[in-house]
Amino acid sequence: MRRLVGLVMALPVLLPEQASAHPAFAGATGFYGGLLHPLFVPTHAIAILSLGLLIGQQMPHWRWPIALAYAAGLGTGFAAMICAFPPRFSAEALLAATAVVAALVALARGLPWPTACVLALAVGTALALDSSPGGISVREANVIIVGTFCGAVILLWVTLEVATVFRREWQKLGVRILGSWMAASAVLVLTWQLAR
């Protein structure tokens, strides 16, 4: 009897689950895990939302080049990760870029579109470098990366399209209020990360 109990107690120890950096949520793995990753990691979500709001608020006519710059940033970051580039301070860089972008949303001052492209490139690169996949095999990690890329691009596009239709005065003010919330959150988390 005791031997049986001992065996049963040993079973869970023999079936460990993989530890991952920040999973979207329990059970989300592979492509779908990557797809949902930007949505369920708070700092990533506010980075993408603030960039989407900025584009939709200030330069909807330039959304294609800015979104391409963002996608290029994501691609660069993921390529660097695949080439085993060790990401350092990527979380801090992402938070700093988010704070700037979200503060620009809150201030609602006109921004030249090339500057927005540079910011989008920075957000995309930092986001990718901060999204190291928790997969065990190279193939699994690559599938997660593809999922994360798709999720990050889709979330940005949805946000900027939604922000583009906000043309009434109260809607524009609502976007600015959201920007101020995200800027404040980014600044606080960045400080906490640096002070840790």
Partner 1 sequence: MRMARTSLRAAVLLLLGAMPAAAHTGNLSGGFLGGFAHPLFGPDHVVAMVAVGLWGAFLGPPPMFILPIVFPLVMAIGGVLGILAVPLPAAELAIAASAIVLGLMVASAARPPLWVAATIVAAFAIFHGYAHGAELPAGTDAAAYSIGFVTATGLLHLAGIALGLTVRWPVGRIGVRGTGAAIAGAGVVFLWRLA
Q: Which of 3, 16, 109, 139 binds partner 1 (CB under 8 A)?
A: 16
Counting contacts by CB under 8 A, is residue 156 touching partner 1? no
Q: Which residues, at least 6 apart from 196, have a Cβ–Cβ distance to it below 8 Å?
A: none
Nearer to partner 1, 139 or 168 (CB): 168
Q: Closest separation between CB of residue 5 and partner 1, Å?
A: 5
Q: Which of 3, 5, 83, 84 binds partner 1 (CB under 8 A)?
A: 5
Q: Which residues, at least 6 apart from 31, have a Cβ–Cβ distance to it below 8 Å?
A: 143, 144, 146, 147
Tokens 């889709």 sit on residue: 154
> Residue 59's closest CA among 106, 13, 21, 110?
110
Whole-angstrom Cα distance, residue 149 to residue 35?
7
Counting contacts by CB under 8 A, is residue 187 touching partner 1? yes
Counting contacts by CB under 8 A, is residue 167 touching partner 1? no
Counting contacts by CB under 8 A, is residue 22 touching partner 1? yes
Amino acid at 13: V
Q: Closest separation between CB of residue 50 and partner 1, Å?
A: 12
Q: Which of 3, 9, 110, 167 binds partner 1 (CB under 8 A)?
A: 9
**Residue 108 CB-density burial (10 A; 0-12 exposed, 13-18 middle, 19+ buried):** middle
Going residue by residue from 116 to 155, which x/- string records binding to partner 1, judged by CB under 8 A? ----------------------------------------
Contact between 185 and 46 under an 8 Å Cβ cutoff? The reply is yes
Helix axes 90-107, 42-58, angle to 10 degrees: 40
Per CB under 8 A, which of residues 35..54 are in contact with partner 1? Answer: 40-43, 46
Counting contacts by CB under 8 A, is residue 30 touching partner 1? no
Counting contacts by CB under 8 A, is residue 62 touching partner 1? no
Residues making contact with partner 1 (CB under 8 A)? 2, 5, 8-9, 11-13, 16-24, 26, 40-43, 46, 103, 106, 169-170, 173, 176-177, 179-181, 183-185, 187-189, 191-193, 195
